[in-house]
Structure 1
Amino acid sequence: MGVGQAGTLSDAQAISGLHAAKAVFLVNVKNPDALYHVVKVIELTRKQLEQQKVAPHFIVVFIGPDVAFLTKDRRGIPYTDERAVAGIQHEIERFARKGIQFQACGVALKGMDIHPSMLISTVQPVESGFISVIAYQEKGYALVPVY
């Protein structure tokens, strides 16, 4: 049912009657190239919803080692990953201006020995990524796990 008569893809059935969509993305991919792709797809999803007249409300919560890709000084990032990490940070900064909120789990930050002040400015540190995700689900946000 998702394919129209001309073979085009459609979300019409799923979004019928929907005016807003709230989602919290729980992200733990552990690979900067994959994470770069994920961040771009989250923005694409936001854009597609807007094009279909659905107001997106997105929160992206990074847990685990992914928080290391969000630091200003990028310490400990191998040279081979620098380009992907720079891309991640650039896209996060760009997409934050479009209304996507980004958070980093404080438990993961502590585990990676990263002080919250080392995060890029568009990423908000929270005490626990799990608590954040639980709370947003209780507020009606759909969980989108990305592993």
Structure 2
Amino acid sequence: MNNSINSLRLAVLLIFCLTGLLSTSASAEQYDSLKGLKSVRTIFDFRDGKPGSALIHLKLVHDTFRDQAIQAVSDKPEMVVVFMDSSVLLLSSDRDKFSEVDRMRLEEFDQTLETMVKDGVRLEVCMFAANLWGVRPESIPVDIDRVANGWIASLGYQQKGFALVPVF
């Protein structure tokens, strides 16, 4: 139990450190890669199914959306997170199989998802993966759009000019 609590403390510390680093970004001029851009359009292929690292990844995606450098390029960046593979398990309200520590992480995961939706990040879940992993559709939050096949969604976004960022 102490190892689990220490792991959780370490994860929270890492999140605060990452958040602090990202919030110090002054503008798009810090990134040569952002110079000349008129918009930011990104799809995150989210497949991390481990509650601890998935929470860190999700917060990093959200911090990226909120980053001043991204906001300097585009007042309203277009970002989509498509949950595929085992990450769909983290979206389900059925959490009996998770440890107490993981359930605490998943509560924070849920809160981050809610904030992301309010901020304008689009969330989608691959129903092929949900069916494969035994996730009941009604256990997935209503704010998360259902797509039959996450790969097809990813292909469509990429064809529309969205940059692909894998989150494994």
TMscore range, shorter length: 0.7 to 0.9
Instruction: Give the alignment partner of residue 84 of structure 2, picking from 41, 53, 63.
Output: 63
Q: Specify the alignment match of 1:112 in structure 2.
A: 133
Counterpart-to-counterpart distance in 1, 2:33 and 2:116: 25
The 1-side partners of 2:73 and 2:134 are apart by 42
Percentage of pairs with the same residue: 23
Instruction: Return the match for 1:122 from 132, 143, 149.
Output: 143
For residues 30 and 19 of structure 1, what CA distance do their matches in structure 2 show? 34
The amino acid that maps onto 2:151 is F
| Length-normalised TM-score, structure 1 | 0.86
Specify the alignment match of 1:131 in structure 2.
152
Give 1:28 shift: 1.0
Instruction: Name the Cα RMSD after superposition.
Output: 1.7
1:83-122 aligned within 5 A: 83-122=104-143
Greater helix share, 1 or 2? 2
Do the aligned partners of 2:47 and 2:167 also contact (CA within 8 Å) in 1?
yes
Give the drift of 1:121. Answer: 2.1
**Alignment gaps of 5+ in structure 2:** 1-25
| 2:58 aligns with one of 7, 18, 39 | 39
Partner of 1:74 in structure 2? 95
In terms of fraction of residues, the more strand-rich structure is 1
Q: Which amino acid aligns with 1:134?
A: L
Q: Partner of 2:162 in structure 1?
A: 141
Q: Confirm whether residue 11 of structure 1 aligns to residue 30 of structure 2.
A: yes
> Aligned partners of 2:115 and 2:163: how far apart in 1?
23
